[in-house]
Amino acid sequence: MGNRRTAGHLAALFTIIIWGTTFISTKVLLTDFKPVEILFFRFVMGFAALFLVCPHRMKGVGRRQELTFVLAGLSGICLYYLLENIALTYTMASNVGVIISVAPFFTAILSRLFLKSEGKLKANFFIGFVVAMAGVALISFNGSRMELNPAGDLLAVLAAFVWACYSILTRKISSFGYQVILTTRRTFFYGILFMVPALFLFNFEMGLERFANMTHLLNILYLGLGASALCFVTWNLAVKVLGAVKTSVYIYMVPVITVVTSVLILKEPVTWVSIMGTVLAVAGLFLSEYSGKGSGNSE
């Protein structure tokens, strides 16, 4: 059982490392693509990749199970990314970075309401949350003032809540007993379906000739095959093994990964504030994850 849990933690960490670096690819693509175009292309590519890897059909899906897949696609694939992208147009990226990191807190509350299997939340979860949020805030506002932009900040809070809903639905889906690749693919299908109306709303253009540019092609492949197809599978695997709450806590690491990649790839300067923030975010993660003896874990 210990090996299984270790694999779950490694899957969550791997996912977050990839997700924490996607901002570089997105930044590169935003010169020629609208946010909704990047979103659509990456998930269609992700869906196609999962279909090629596992072309089998899911059999015997009941009506209530189907509804869970529909809601997971709507929340985790369509709404979360659209809300986050729209929030970025109204408020600073630093605000969004901090607010999105509240997702584990929402996940914890929802899991107490809807998932009896997740066990009781201990004080260390909340202490870890406060420590990690202090670290995330230091990283995000590194030298800059916090400016409140109600519309954008509210959208970011909604995005964090929607991701928490997705985490709970994923946990529910993991109890159905289907292969993770098949459940992820089905979730992608509904997510893409819900995305279609948004394409008309945001003036979507197909413009496939843009992928003749090798930089664009490689970056969309990274987002589509790595950050979407592979990472949603590894994240869903982690949720299956660790539970929704313990997996969601890894979200605290996203700003840390972002800082590290900014320094290594974009050659941005390291500051004491970001180092301090990184230490606090990691400490918060460990505090929240620490279960102690006789912990009520999800298994």
Distance between CA atoms of residues 85 and 39, nearest Å: 9
Q: 294 pLDDT band (50/70/90 cuts)? A: very low
Distance between CA atoms of residues 83 and 251, nearest Å: 17
Q: 63-72 vs 150-174: helix axis angle to the nearest 10?
A: 150
* DSSP state letter for 118: G
Residue 295 placed within a domain: no
Residue 104 is predicted with a pLDDT of 93
List the single range of 56-60, 100-104, 144-148, 221-225 with lowest mean pLDDT: 144-148
Task: Report the number of distinct structural domains present in the chain.
Answer: 1
Structural domain including 178 reads 2-289
Mean pLDDT to the nearest integer, 292-299 = 37
Report field, pTM of the whole predicted structure over 0.85: yes
Residue 59 is predicted with a pLDDT of 87
Nearest to 191 by CA among 81, 104, 62: 81
* Mean pLDDT, rounded, of the chain: 89
Q: Which two tokens stand for residue 134?
A: 């202090």
Residue 123 is predicted with a pLDDT of 87
Residue 296 placed within a domain: no
Residue 209 placed within a domain: yes
Tell me the backbone φ, ψ of residue 179, rounded to 5 degrees: -65, 140
Find the angle CA(99)-CA(145)-CA(131) to the nearest 5 degrees: 45
pLDDT tens sequence across 111-147: 988 887 676 778 889 999 999 999 988 888 776 666 7
pLDDT tens sequence across 41-77: 999 999 999 999 999 998 889 999 999 999 999 999 9
Residue 189 placed within a domain: yes
Distance between CA atoms of residues 226 and 139, nearest Å: 25
Residue 298 placed within a domain: no
Spatial contact of 7 and 241, defined as CB atoms under 8 Å apart = yes
Residue 294 placed within a domain: no
Spatial contact of 246 and 217, defined as CB atoms under 8 Å apart = no
Residue 252 placed within a domain: yes
Residue 105 placed within a domain: yes
Distance between CA atoms of residues 14 and 12, nearest Å: 6
